[in-house]
Amino acid sequence: MGTVIVVTSGKGGTGKTSLTGGVASCLAALGRQVLCIDMDIGLRNLDISLGMTDRALMDFTDVLEGRCSLERAAVEHPVIRNLYLLTAPVSPPPHPLGESSMLDLLRQARERFDYVLIDSPAGLGSGFRLASCGADRAVVVSTNDSSALRDAQRTVTELGRSIDTIHLVMNRIQPKLMRRLRTTIDDAMDAAGLPLLGVVPEDAQVILAANTSQPLILTSRKGAALAYLNIAKRLLGERVPLMKIH
Reading the chain (246 residues) residue by residue, the pLDDT tens digits are 899 999 999 888 899 999 999 999 999 999 999 999 999 988 889 999 998 987 888 999 999 999 999 999 999 999 999 999 999 998 888 888 889 999 999 999 999 999 999 999 987 888 999 999 999 999 999 988 888 888 888 998 999 899 999 999 999 988 776 666 566 666 666 667 788 899 999 999 998 988 888 889 898 989 999 999 999 999 999 999 877 765
Residue 162 Cα to chain centre, angstroms: 18
The length of the chain, given as a count of residues: 246
Nearest to 109 by CA among 20, 212, 4, 206: 4
Rounded Cα distance, 146 and 149, in Å: 5
In order of 6, 108, 118, 158, the CA distances from 3 in angstroms are 10, 12, 11, 20
Q: For the chain, list the domains and their CATH numbers.
A: 3-235 (3.40.50.300)
Alpha helical stretches, state H, 65-98: 70-73
Residues of the binding site for ATP: 11-18
What backbone torsions phi and psi does residue 198 show, to the nearest 5 degrees?
180, 160
Residues of the binding site: 11-18
Nearest to 8 by CA among 176, 109, 132, 100: 132
